[in-house]
Chain A
Amino acid sequence: MTAQAEIRDRRWPWYVAVVAVAVALSLSMISPPDAVQGDLIRIMYIHVPAAWLAYLAFTVTLVGSIGYLATKRMVFDRLAASSAEVGVYFTGLAILLGMIWGKPTWGVWWTWDARLTLTAIMLFVYLGYLALRRATPDPDARAKRSAILGVLAIVQIPIVHFSVVWWRTLHQPPSIIRPDGPAIQDPLMVIALIAGVVAFTVVYVALVAKRMELARIEDAIVAREATFERPVAGEAVVAPDLSPEPGGAR
Chain B
Amino acid sequence: MSGIRRQALAVARRDLARERRRGEVLWVTVPFGIIALLLVPLAIGTDQATLHRVGPGLYWVVVLLFGVLVGVRGAADETGPQRDAAALLGLDPVAVFAGRALATSSLLVVFELVVGVAAIALYDIDLIGVGWLALVVLLVAIGLGTLATIASSIVASGAGTAALVPLLVAPLAIPLLLGATQSLDGLRQGTSILSWILLMIVVVLVLGIVGVVSSGPLQESR
Contact = CB atoms under 8 A, between A and B. Distances in A.
Q: Answer yes or no: do A and B interact.
A: yes
A188 interface: no
Contacts, number: 68
User: How many A residues touch the partner, as a band?
Assistant: 20 to 34
Contacts of A135: 155, 157-158, 160-161, 164
Contacts of A156: 171-172
B28 interface: no
A218 interface: no
B161 A136 contact: yes
Interface string B167-179: 1101110110000
Interface of B: 150, 154-155, 157-158, 160-161, 164, 167-168, 170-172, 174-175, 206, 210, 214, 217-218, 220-222
Contacts of B210: 148, 151-152
B218 A132 contact: no
Chain A contact residues: over half helix, strand or loop, or mixed? Answer: helix
Contact of B155 (A124, A137, A140, A145): A145
What are the nearest 8 A-B pairs in CB distance? A144-B221, A141-B221, A128-B167, A125-B171, A148-B214, A121-B171, A128-B168, A145-B154
A141 B171 contact: no
B168 A145 contact: no
9 contacts: A125-B172, A128-B167, A128-B171, A132-B154, A135-B155, A135-B158, A135-B164, A138-B221, A156-B171
A152 B150 contact: yes
A132 B164 CA distance: 7
Contacts of A149: 154, 168
A69 B217 contact: yes
Nearest to B173: A121
Contacts of B154: 132, 145, 148-149
